[in-house]
Structure formats: structure tokens, C-alpha cells
Amino acid sequence: MNFIDAFENDNWSVKLKLLFEQSIEIKKLSKINGLLIYHREIETIKETFRHLLDVDETGKHKKLAAFIRRLRKNSDSVFVFLNDYEVPFDNNASERAIRMIKVKTKVSGCFRTFDGAVRFAKIRSVIDTTIKNQGNTFEALNLLACCRAESLQNNLIIQKLQNDKIKRKRTTFS
């Protein structure tokens, strides 16, 4: 919405901002009262949005014109949150998840290895998912560590068996 605020002099952007605000309000109300009650309003919002996208972007600010083109390209995805309770109307959770990586790189400068970055991402993913599902983070990490240790132990056993098999083959050919 902040991006749209930059173009308040443009009537199109004011209408789009109002449309987004209405859709967010309907999302909140539909969670309380049920989605079917607001079906007509949701369809009206989508129709108004399609009508807004029919605007001629020539003469608009360069960034606003690019924004309109992106909205046209992704128009099917813009109001998905109105039809699905699981889809939030913002991307705050995604931004919060990315923020930890950004903080980590700012504090330590960078990850020392690509493998370390991948491990950090996997662990953060487990933590974020556990928090999102209102689980116990410590238990989830403990389970992850136990499974990892068990997996490593199984891999070591498999590797040992493969090495023994290779040694047997060498001894039979000698």
C-alpha cells in the first residue's frame, strides 16, 4: 500500500488502494461470518479490479506503469486471499522469515560455506513452521537432532557395508 501512496495524485492509484482496503475488510468479515455471505461483494471487487486494469498506462509514471503491467500479468493471484481462508492478504510472515537470514548475514557478514547457509535455512524453516503451527520449538529441534543423528548413523552403517562389499570384491579379484 505504501507504493500506491506515492502516486496519490493519480486517480487510478487512489481507486486501487480503496479496492484493496475493501477487500481486506471483506476478508476479515468473511472469517467471522463465513465466505458465502460475501460472494457477491467478492465478485464485485474482482470485476472492479479487472476494470481498473483496462486503464491506458501511457502517460503514467514509469514505476506505476510497470506496476500496472505486473498486476495484469498476475491478476489471477491478486485476490486469492478472498476465496481461501489459509491465504493471508499480506506477505508479512514471508518477510519475517527472510528477516532472520538478513540479520544473520549482517551480524556475521556472510555464511562461511554454502552448506552452512543451507543448514541454517533448513533449521530456520523448522523453527518458523513450528511457531506458525503453535508447536514447541525446542521439541521440534530436539526431534530434528535425533532424526539427524539416526540418519547419520544409518548412513555410516550403509557406507561401512558398501566399503566392506568393495573390499570383498577386491580380495576375490586378487
Q: Are residues 123 and 70 in the same domain?
A: no
Domains: count for the chain: 2
Q: Are residues 169 and 124 in the same domain?
A: yes
Residue whose C-alpha cell is 548412513: 155
CB 137 within 8 A of CB 130: yes
Nearest to 14 by CA among 1, 30, 28: 1
pLDDT in tens, 81-125: 888 878 888 877 777 777 877 777 777 777 788 888 888 888 888
Q: Are residues 77 and 112 in the same domain?
A: no
3-state DSSP assignment of residue 8: coil
pLDDT in tens, 7-62: 656 688 888 889 999 999 988 888 777 767 778 888 899 999 999 988 887 777 88
Q: Are residues 53 and 120 in the same domain?
A: no
For residue 119, give the amino acid letter: R
Q: Are residues 164 and 128 in the same domain?
A: yes
Where does a domain end: 55, 83, 111? Answer: 83
Q: Are residues 79 and 141 in the same domain?
A: no
Where does a domain end: 50, 83, 116? Answer: 83
Strands, E assignment, the chain: none
Q: Are residues 18 and 73 in the same domain?
A: yes
Q: Are residues 56 and 121 in the same domain?
A: no
Range of 22's domain? 2-83
Cα gap 11→153, rounded to integer Å:
65
Q: Are residues 38 and 104 in the same domain?
A: no
Report if pTM > 0.85: no
CB 46 within 8 A of CB 20: no
Cα gap 42→24, rounded to integer Å:
11
